[in-house]
């Protein structure tokens, strides 16, 4: 009888482990592939979703602004960030991965972006063309990972990190 109990317990444990593995797989990020209609700047694009054009804001990063001051001049590295995103998106499609909140207060979709399994946010951070920013719960899935990539770019003093005190927690400012 004891042996039967052990076997039942073992089978129950195996079943629970299999269910847990299956639950983890079902929680994997779901992405949707959409056509890109235009690149607005280094952290915002336009795409077509269900026949409607939507603006998409890249989650957890900020790039320098293309039209920042009067007269409208790009901030340092804004052109490079925008051109980099345009180059990554030359194929005309992008995969979007949503976090918890789907839109920001301006009505833009919020997403992580991928091209050929490359995360665009990671690439911008790695190349010193973006900073980790706009960290708002509950959309924080990759914040720790992004911050580690940013730290490496800061150490190497590349891109936005090559200008002393330019990139800060509050944005991009030249002294």
108 catalytic residue (yes or no): yes
105 catalytic residue (yes or no): no
The torsion angles phi and psi of 57, rounded to 5 degrees, stand at -100, 130
Residue 21: C-alpha distances to residues 9, 11, 13, 18 (Å): 18, 15, 12, 5
Structure token digits, residue 73: 């001049």
Which of the residues 65, 80, 95, 122 is marked catalytic? 65
On whether the CB atoms of residues 120 and 93 are closer than 8 A, the answer is no
169 catalytic residue (yes or no): no
Structure token digits, residue 74: 């790009």
17 prior amide bond cis, ω within 30:
no
Which of the residues 54, 57, 122, 131 is marked catalytic? 57
Pairwise CA distance, residues 161 & 77, whole Å: 10
Helix (H) or strand (E) holding 174: none
Which of the residues 54, 80, 95, 108 is marked catalytic? 108
Active site residues per annotation: 57, 65, 108
């Amino acid at each position: 009888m004891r042996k039967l109990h052990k076997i039942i317990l073992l089978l129950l444990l195996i079943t629970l482990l299999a269910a847990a593995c299956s639950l983890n797989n079902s929680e994997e990020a779901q992405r949707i592939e959409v056509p890109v209609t235009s690149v607005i700047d280094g952290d915002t694009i336009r795409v077509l979703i269900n026949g409607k054009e939507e603006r998409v804001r890249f989650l957890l990063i900020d790039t320098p602004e293309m039209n920042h001051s009067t007269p409208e001049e790009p901030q340092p590295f804004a052109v490079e960030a925008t051109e980099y995103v345009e180059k990554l998106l030359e194929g005309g499609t992008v995969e979007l991965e949503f976090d918890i909140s789907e839109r920001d207060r301006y009505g833009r979709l919020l997403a992580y972006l991928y091209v050929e399994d490359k995360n665009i946010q990671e690439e911008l951070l790695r190349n010193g063309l973006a900073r980790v920013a706009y960290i708002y719960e509950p959309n924080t899935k990759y914040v720790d990972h992004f911050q580690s990539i940013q730290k490496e770019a800061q150490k190497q003093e590349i891109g936005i990190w090559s200008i002393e005190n330019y990139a800060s927690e509050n944005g991009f400012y030249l002294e």
